[in-house]
Structure 1
Amino acid sequence: MEHDDEIEKISKELEDMLQMTSGEKENTTGEKDLKEGNEEERVEQEFDPASTPRIRLDIPVDGMEELFDEDMDYGEDLEQEKETVPDQDFMDISEELEDDEELETGQPESFIERESGKKEGKAASLVRPSDGLLAAFFVPIVIMIIIFAQRGIFPFGEESFLRTDMYHQYAPFFSEFRYKLTHGGSLLYSWDIGMGVNFAALYAYYLASPLNWLLVLCPKNYVIEFMTYMIVFKIGLSGLSFSWYLRRHNRTMDFGVAFFGIFYALSGYMAAYSWNIMWLDCILLFPLIMLGLEKLVKEKKCFLYCLTLGLSILSNYYISIMICIFMVFYFIALLILEGLKSWKEIFIRGGLFALFSLLAGGLSAVVLLPEIYALQSTASGDFNFPQTISSYFSIFDMIARHLPAVEPEIGLDHWPNIYCGVAVLMFFLLYLGCRQIRQKEKIVMCSLLLFFFASFSVNTLNFIWHGFHYPNSLPCRQSFIYIFLMLFTCYQAYIHLHEIPWKHVVMALFASVTFVLMAQKLITDEAYHFSVFYVAILFLSIYAGLINLYQKGNSRNVLVLLTLGVISLEAAVNTTVTSVTTTSRTNYVKDNNASSELADSLMPGTSFYRIEKVARKTKNDGAWMNFPTVSLFSSTANSDLTAFFKKLGCESSTNAYSITGSTPLVDSLFAVKYGLYSEETEDDGVSVPVSSKDEMYLRENTYALSLGFMMPYDLENNWQLELTNPAEVQNDLSVVLGASPVLSEVPSEITGTSFTFTPEADGDYYVFVSNKKVEKVNAQLGERTKSFDNVSRGYLLELGYLKSGEEITLRNDDNAQDLVVAAYRFLPEGLESVYNILNRNSMNLTKWTDTQIQGTVTADKAGLLFLSIPYDKGWTVRVDGKVVEPYKIFDTFLSVHVIAGTHDISLEYMPQGLKTGGIITAGSVVFLLILAGVSAGKGKKRRPMRVHSTG
């Protein structure tokens, strides 16, 4: 205890002398700045050992380490190191990746640092500067969990955080990924999604986060919870990452970084898009990428930038496109801020920036290159640059999006979600008026912010930012970068609060409140509830009051905790009001076990089949419950396949296609052998019951064709796929094959917005609405009713099995558009005749895996072996052991030219670009390791060991 007291006494004496010395130098510098009228940031002062008396420490050695705080500079050793170590270059990695670099002294006082522990004694330790990082991580997590508990999200209730695409896409794809990891499936291809997809490409877009590999530890029934709480974890990491960036960039030990980290983690961007789990890795990595680029420009240290950008691109290439675009602008900004005038230095920095940016892309090439090839077959492969320039909204309206509790935009409107705490309205004005911040920095930062306003509003810039495409909903996906810049500038004002006159704070408050009042008067958008403006003024007033208490020197602990509470409250209110919508978890999983068990009962076997769940939750039910299927909803959807589905009368859109609208003929062509039904169905003559489980019923389609079957050469040219009525397209196939029609039109009566007919025979009935202005149709089927949405997509409306003599009425209750409708009865005898013709020369499978198909086919005459597999250049086809060039039939499917006779057919899949990408990634890793080794060797030769003298 005596040693501890002596250590504390000596530490205080040493600290007082350091502050006294530093204070004298700051006064000298301040007087010089005032004389010259310089408003630039105060120059950092190095600790001068000559100006401080040497102290001999007559205490035991084992207590000395407590004196050596990481913030202290060791005078003699630094002087010795400066003489020994030359300027570092880009290969100095030994200290770049350390988490605990020494922080420089002489920085502006922060919110915490202004009050020393002298007034509060031991109470000062209640809030330590290092706790800021912990608060930035845990506060957003706690807020999210409290909201989850309030909303009854599992395990606090039976709700789930499955929102929009998370419901329809991400949960099924995560389930499929987990299934492959736990069952040893291939990550290259999947039959459980959309007739067969390039899983490597789907992985690159949705699943590439390294954290997702933890799914291997997740039980099957808790995939939803894995996603939900991984989102919460990533939100916490985002707050931690941004706070750590502020600390490193500004070289401060300040609890206040937590305040800004919380708003970064719970911003309007997160409120709108946090359910896009695959984007969040880029959001949390972005501050580290920024810090890495700053180290590249300032210190020629490139590894942090390269590794974090490479990880970002690997995790989600789409959001990384926006990060890479911004890196170019920020690199230029850093060159201006650093004041580099030598062309040689600019050229060196530019070369390093280009080299390590390319290396970052090289590190992710194994994931990125297959995705680039796959995108060429999607709707994203089209490129139509805007021909005119237009603006969506005014800067005033965009600034108003900073107000709390404004409803986020996730639809087709272009509004940016840029809320990051209402205090930024006031702090940004303080930033502009702060004399301690360089004018050059203000100009550069304001230019970047203004550029983002233009990017949100100008159509051409919006087009470029989103990878040269207009986003299909979810606008301004790059707005997290704007939020980063805004919070960064406000933090610069925050660390100078003790130097900003109170009257400037009052003026900033007055201007901010005036803006809110003007917004209340001028903005009529429904996204702004009347309470938004009152809440904004309330929090602005509270923040102004806290600043006043701070400048008066009130209790540090109380003030910090009070500020943390207010900030947490505002962030929680905004997140509660604008985010975390729920859906029933019970309904989402209620038939999972029964459906999966019925599907699993069909395996193992060499016979290829597909299953369609008739009463499905999503178009990706096959991925969710892990069985081969036809339907798909994904941004990687094959555009040729969506077009073909529409021609046959199945529902399709830009990035989706499904079996909805399918007839038994289409099921037969697509090898849909089984159907899962939520209720027992009538005997329709085309399927038979197989088994049932907990009110789920499995039926087998009698006329399902094999994965491959022979077609005559002339069928492709003779089949009229461009007919506008899909019922006629299907009948035309029968005609070309020499079979009977499969659909027969029934007499009907149309009276404006209604349509009526009476079945003359029992059977499955379909309706086609040719008026594309009709969006919704309601059908009265005897005592039953059925509704159809998105009718304008031109798919056949499945009325189901109807009894003869029962009047059927369809109405357009959505608008006044007349129904232009034709009704059809499906003819099982027509399907039987088509099946008999095509099944005569079908392929007999002997092996079927994720990436391999083997079988035999006997052709009566030369023709095309049609395979109901989407065309993909990754497939290698062999006939009798020889590689042959596959043919893209109907501009959609895989086919092979086959001569008469019996042939062995084999297919093997390897995603296009995967091998090349793997080589590039391996080469990039080797190159970086060589650089790291050379750097480590140089560091050992020129960096002497520090020896601290106490005498």
Structure 2
Amino acid sequence: MVSHRSFPYVMAFLMPFIICVVICIGNGVYPFGDNCILHIDMYHQYCPFFTEFLHKLRTGGSLQYSWNLGLGSDFVSLYAYYLASPLNFLIVLCPKHYVIEFMTILVLAKIALCGLTFFLFLKYHFHLIGKDSKLHKNQVIPALVFSTAYALSGFVAAYSWDIMWMDCILLFPLIMVGLEKLVREQKPGLYFVTLALSVFANYYISIMICIFLVFYFILLFFTQKGGKLKAFLRFAWYSLLAGSVSMVLLLPEIAVLSASGSAEDSFPKTLEWYFSVIAELGRAAAVTTSYTGNDHWPNLYAGAFTLVLVWLYVLNRRISWKEKVPRMLMLVFFLVSFADNQLDYIWHGMHFPQALPGRQSFLYIFVLLVMGFATIRKWKGTRRWHIIIAVLAALTLMVLSGYYGDELVTEYMAVVITMLFILVYGILLLLLKIAPKKMRIALREAAFCVAIAELAVNMAVTGLGVTSRVAYTDKQGYYEDLLQQAKEDNRNDGFYRVEDSGRKTKNDDSLYGYRSATIFSSLMNLDVSHLFQSLYMEGGKNFYCYNGASPLPSAMFSVKYMLSSNPVDESPLRTLVGSSNGNYLYRNNYCLPLGYMMSEKAIKGWESSMLDRIGSLNSLAQQLGAKGDMLYPATCTQSQAAGDTTIDISEDGYYYADYVTCNADSLTVSRDDGWTQQYGKTTHRYLLDLGECKAGTKVHITNLNAETIEYHVYRLNFKAMCTAYETLSEQTMSLEKMTDRRIVGSIDVRQAGRLILSVPADEGWSLYVDGKKTKIKPFADALIGVHLKEGTHKIELRYTTPGVQIGAAISIAALLLFLFSMWIRYKIRGKYGEKMHQHRRTDVQ
């Protein structure tokens, strides 16, 4: 049974939770249908990373490094960036095939906890507890509406799938309570614990929280009647300790991010306005589509009632201007920050976000809701004419935002619906002012129902998007079978990687549990991506991918097996090994071990001759001894039509193609012999594999954009490719032992050169040659390399996450300093209390 006193808190949690559960049921989320709430990065990153995390926890694998993340990747930094919520350790209780459901429960629970923590903030900040230690009855219903509005805000609707952010969103109201306790009551405990948890869970959103805390502390500082210096020292000290506690994760994360694409941004030198503030206000409209694109539009929805209440806040006679002005300025500052590129850069941690804009909008929503609730608390300071003016002002802003805004971003229908809600709230508020006292309870309940209904409808329309769970998981069992067949086919013959020609995500290796040459992560080594691009493979700011791999690069990255749904993909390059329910396993006939030798002359010659990408591939083969081009232009006829290009093959051979220009994000290659292959993200520009073609074969390359595309077609020179491959395979490393953090092997070097390992040259690796620590000499700045002289050498690689040891020491020291500070505080308060007690006894005597 729920006690009467705890009932409001339970409702603050249950109201958003029940709304979200009902939405999930309506959307057919498993087990109520065949869908799941995997969306954007939750689909492409979190589910694979959670699966890899579960695998490590279950098998006892190292949490410092993973081979199931591209060519290999630091795991501490990945954990810090994507998985650091303490709640995530509960996944160890989850069956492997229900990771999606575990994540779904986490999302719904965190949304619900947002409602509870905001309710707790309102209770403390507005002193809702009466002298009888009970919540003021007439404030519980409004507080539940506002806490639900925080939990179902536009930010949450747009980004609830971003699990790594939601811990910070739910902790933020408690951090604010802690800050007020720190300043006003000299109690640092809650502030330290909640801020430390926030920074630990996700440093990125915590940066925005910390910026806001500075502003809010300044506000508290100037409204503090005494002890300002001590308040400043407490704020600085406990903020420093809270941030330092997470150094065990932050230092590794900083080290790894410095080598990633995230480190490329620099402060914008010129001011730029993305859009007008008036147009931006339209993003506060109800049922307007959540925006996650690249055009910087924030998600500002917090309930249409806040658009009226914010004006009533300004007009309210019982709220002092000393309270109004800084909060109104804060709102204006946020609106300007969303629209200004320099402020936007600062808010996002000295970084321009790649899509998912306005990530600090939850702070704006928090301030707006607090101002709205203050208006309700001081309801007697509102006059009837205030309501009329507030409604007219809100309607005017909606009309102007619709007129000056972008219809593709803020739909006109959303503006109209919001205006209708504003009118309804205006009528209800007027009735609350003029109606007899007996009717006011019914009117308050009606307003409560309308507000909750509005919030629920908005969440149903704009949040918790779904995709097919069946389509996401359909290959799981079959791939497990094929991966076992690959293991048996390899027969312990050294290290190998696996790739998937029809991958669902760029993190399928983590999802299914195999080593690959593909990754999508903000922590990816950017130099590896550049190497992939120079080999005409797919690469970008936060990903590199096997797409575009020709035989020589494929061999260099040790990709031995291919998963495919294509039954007719055998060729001189690959051999069919096995199948499982329409899915096939092929063995690449050209594959190198983890380590192989290349002459310094060849490396220098290739690195200095890289021009266009085809030229780069040919140069590499020629430096390795090939005579002539490995890929040379083929004589083919082409006919282009809207959405379809036909290539007539004139002679037998293995063919590739690239395009002159292409805006289509997906291309489908099909031959008249039944072979077909779909290529995604083709705007990233990589080499298209047309397969083995006979003379007279017609190859069709189609796109859904009805775009007319011209292609360059190349034929593979097998002799040149084989010559280059054989040069690399002459001197290879024998792998003797390999764990998550250690590689041991030996090599007999007959001709001095550089040993190259297809392992990213990340900072954490230490290399030992014949027992002596040796400096790594990276290949193309991307892969681990070391120069070796003639003779037999013992090679050992050891990995330690950069910064983790120093970070752990700082974290422990910060925690001890916090405990020491609390002990000192306890002792001082104890002595002060004892002196006060003695004074009282003296007075009595």
TM-score, length basis structure 2: 0.92
Amino acid at match of 1:457: A
The alignment status of 1:477 with 2:359, answered yes or no, reads yes
Matched residues in 2 for 1:681 and 1:733: separation? 30
Could you tell me which residue of structure 1 aligns to residue 264 of structure 2? 382
Could you tell me which residue of structure 1 aligns to residue 290 of structure 2? 408
Cα pair 1:858 1:901 within 8 Å, conserved: yes
Deviation, 1:783, is: 6.5
Cα pair 2:656 2:691 within 8 Å, conserved: yes
Q: Given the alignment, which residue of 636, 645, 669 partners 2:523? A: 636
Cα pair 1:725 1:768 within 8 Å, conserved: no
Matched residues in 2 for 1:128 and 1:534: separation? 41
Cα pair 1:606 1:845 within 8 Å, conserved: no
Give the aligned length: 817
Could you tell me which residue of structure 1 aligns to residue 175 of structure 2? 289
Could you tell me which residue of structure 1 aligns to residue 68 of structure 2? 192
Q: Given the alignment, which residue of 680, 694, 699 partners 1:808? A: 699
The alignment status of 1:918 with 2:808, answered yes or no, reads yes
Amino acid at match of 1:289: I
Cα pair 2:260 2:523 within 8 Å, conserved: yes
The alignment status of 1:746 with 2:637, answered yes or no, reads no
Could you tell me which residue of structure 1 aligns to residue 47 of structure 2? 171
Q: Given the alignment, which residue of 646, 666, 680 partners 2:553? A: 666
Could you tell me which residue of structure 2 aligns to residue 162 of structure 1? 38
Cα pair 1:611 1:628 within 8 Å, conserved: yes
Could you tell me which residue of structure 2 aligns to residue 397 of structure 1? 279
The alignment status of 1:306 with 2:192, answered yes or no, reads yes
Deviation, 1:335, is: 1.3
Deviation, 1:683, is: 3.2
Matched residues in 2 for 1:765 and 1:235: separation? 52
Secondary structure of 1:429's match?
A: helix
Could you tell me which residue of structure 1 aligns to residue 575 of structure 2? 688
Secondary structure of 2:437's match?
A: coil
Secondary structure of 1:850's match?
A: coil
Could you tell me which residue of structure 1 aligns to residue 476 of structure 2? 592
Matched residues in 2 for 1:515 and 1:461: separation? 24
Cα pair 2:198 2:206 within 8 Å, conserved: yes
What pairs with 1:873-888 in structure 2 (closer than 5 Å)? 873-888=763-778
Q: Given the alignment, which residue of 450, 453, 459 partners 1:569? A: 453
Matched residues in 2 for 1:418 and 1:935: separation? 41
Deviation, 1:680, is: 2.2
Secondary structure of 1:841's match?
A: coil
The alignment status of 1:261 with 2:147, answered yes or no, reads yes
Secondary structure of 1:436's match?
A: coil
Secondary structure of 2:778's match?
A: strand
Matched residues in 1 for 2:596 and 2:764: separation? 21
Deviations 1:268-306 (A, max 9, x none): 111111111110001011111112222222233222222
Matched residues in 2 for 1:760 and 1:623: separation? 42
Deviation, 1:743, is: 2.8
Q: Given the alignment, which residue of 450, 463, 468 partners 2:332? A: 450
Amino acid at match of 1:490: G
Amino acid at match of 1:181: L
Q: 1:654 to 1:521 in 2, by over 3 A?
A: closer
Cα pair 1:776 1:789 within 8 Å, conserved: yes
Matched residues in 2 for 1:929 and 1:682: separation? 64
Could you tell me which residue of structure 2 aligns to residue 228 of structure 1? 104
Q: Which runs of 5+ in 1 are unaligned?
A: 1-124, 947-951
Secondary structure of 2:438's match?
A: coil
Matched residues in 2 for 1:520 and 1:464: separation? 29
Deviations 1:466-503 (A, max 9, x none): 12121111111011000000001111111111443334
Cα pair 2:659 2:709 within 8 Å, conserved: no
Could you tell me which residue of structure 2 aligns to residue 489 of structure 1? 371
Matched residues in 2 for 1:458 and 1:613: separation? 42
Matched residues in 2 for 1:499 and 1:437: separation? 8
Secondary structure of 2:587's match?
A: strand
Cα pair 1:772 1:792 within 8 Å, conserved: yes
Q: 1:841 to 1:524 in 2, by over 3 A?
A: closer
Q: 1:773 to 1:538 in 2, by over 3 A?
A: closer
Matched residues in 2 for 1:392 and 1:769: separation? 33
Matched residues in 2 for 1:901 and 1:942: separation? 76
Could you tell me which residue of structure 1 aligns to residue 499 of structure 2? 612
Higher CA-based Rg: 1
Secondary structure of 1:419's match?
A: coil
Amino acid at match of 1:743: L
Deviation, 1:507, is: 3.2
Could you tell me which residue of structure 1 aligns to residue 592 of structure 2? 705
Secondary structure of 2:787's match?
A: strand
Secondary structure of 2:70's match?
A: coil
What pairs with 1:508-519 in structure 2 (closer than 5 Å)? 508-519=390-401
Could you tell me which residue of structure 2 aligns to residue 930 of structure 1? 820
Could you tell me which residue of structure 2 aligns to residue 356 of structure 1? 238
Secondary structure of 1:896's match?
A: strand
Matched residues in 1 for 2:654 and 2:239: separation? 59
Cα pair 1:647 1:721 within 8 Å, conserved: no
Could you tell me which residue of structure 2 aligns to residue 82 of structure 1? none
Secondary structure of 1:392's match?
A: coil
TM-score, length basis structure 1: 0.82
Could you tell me which residue of structure 2 aligns to residue 838 of structure 1? 728
Amino acid at match of 1:554: K
Deviation, 1:590, is: 0.4
Q: 1:210 to 1:394 in 2, by over 3 A?
A: same
Deviations 1:349-399 (A, max 9, x none): 222222211111111000111000001101121242212112222222222
Matched residues in 1 for 2:797 and 2:444: separation? 66
Could you tell me which residue of structure 2 aligns to residue 46 of structure 1? none
Secondary structure of 2:736's match?
A: strand
Amino acid at match of 2:693: L
Deviations 1:41-89 (A, max 9, x none): xxxxxxxxxxxxxxxxxxxxxxxxxxxxxxxxxxxxxxxxxxxxxxxxx
Q: Please identify, of 228-237 and 507-516, the stretch whose mean Cα deviation from structure 2 is larger.
A: 507-516
Cα pair 2:637 2:648 within 8 Å, conserved: no
Could you tell me which residue of structure 2 aligns to residue 767 of structure 1? 657
Matched residues in 2 for 1:919 and 1:381: separation? 26
Cα RMSD for the two superposed structures: 2.6
The alignment status of 1:427 with 2:314, answered yes or no, reads no
The alignment status of 1:655 with 2:537, answered yes or no, reads no
Q: 1:629 to 1:562 in 2, by over 3 A?
A: same
Amino acid at match of 1:443: V
Could you tell me which residue of structure 1 aligns to residue 751 of structure 2? 861
Cα pair 1:721 1:729 within 8 Å, conserved: no
Cα pair 2:636 2:649 within 8 Å, conserved: no
Q: 1:520 to 1:382 in 2, by over 3 A?
A: closer
Amino acid at match of 1:851: R
Deviation, 1:151, is: 0.9
